[in-house]
Amino acid sequence: MSLKGKTLFITGASRGIGLAIAEKAASDGANIIIAAKTAEAHPKLEGTIYTAAKAVEVAGGQALPLVVDVRDEAQVMAAVAEGVKAFGGIDILINNASAISLTNTESTTMKRFDLMNQINYRGTFLVTQQCLPHLKKSANPHVLTLSPPLNMDPNWFKGHVAYTISKYNMSLAMMGMAAEFSDVGIAFNCLWPKTTIATAAIAGQMGGDELAKVSRLPTIMADAAYHIFTQPANTFSGQFLIDEDVLRTAGVNEFSGYQVDPALAADRLFPDLFL
């Protein structure tokens, strides 16, 4: 199955994993709605919606860059409408936008608490809700949310309660919607990396350049997402998926090319949270 002619709505697609997924789908000739906040270059972060659009076009797809804050209902509604007007519908939604703060309870400001919950949980719910009428019309509709499997080990809560709950709420939303819309044929799944991924979040929150060296590239998540999108939506739903496991199922057994340092032994890679 190819993604040629399919339309993907990707939140937070100006950089990192969102952009990698956009480029992978674009290589098939897909249409990409780039829904992200960054319209002007940031002094500390690479990429804008316009540089992402250029990358999509270079890869072989069509791009529609839109300034979207997933916390803003009016902006989300307008972006969905504009995307549908441009490409005729929406076939795949990727809830990639996310906020992180690995702070303990006493150190988490309510401003940061609200940001994480408004982007991670509320944003995922809102964007999915607005895309649903169009996904229902697609031949093989998928919703993929970048959130972890539900692991109730207290170890994953104790150091960053607010962040963990905001991410788990994304996963709970997908689990619930998979059941709610099982008779409609829309796939709702979650995807999470086995190892840390070298993105801006790594640099800013989890250890910077040193951690990046023992991480994988965003392309592993893009390749796993692509495999998911090419599965039959009416049977491949309600799953908490791990990037490496997805690719092994697809026949991939060599992963060194996904590493920031290809020469690094696999057992030295840093495992991601929640696994």
Catalytic residue among 121, 163, 168, 226: 163
What pLDDT does residue 206 have? 66
The whole-chain average pLDDT of the chain stands at 96
**Contact between 168 and 148 (Cβ < 8 Å):** yes
Could you tell me the fold of the domain covering 7-268?
A: Rossmann fold (3.40.50)
Q: What is the pLDDT of residues 248-270, one digit of tens each?
A: 999 999 999 999 999 999 999 99
| Nearest-angstrom CA–CA distance, 270 and 96 | 21
Residues of the chain above pLDDT 70, percent:
98
Does residue 258 have an active-site annotation?
Answer: no
**Contact between 229 and 3 (Cβ < 8 Å):** yes
What pLDDT does residue 112 have? 98
Structure tokens at 149: 């499997």
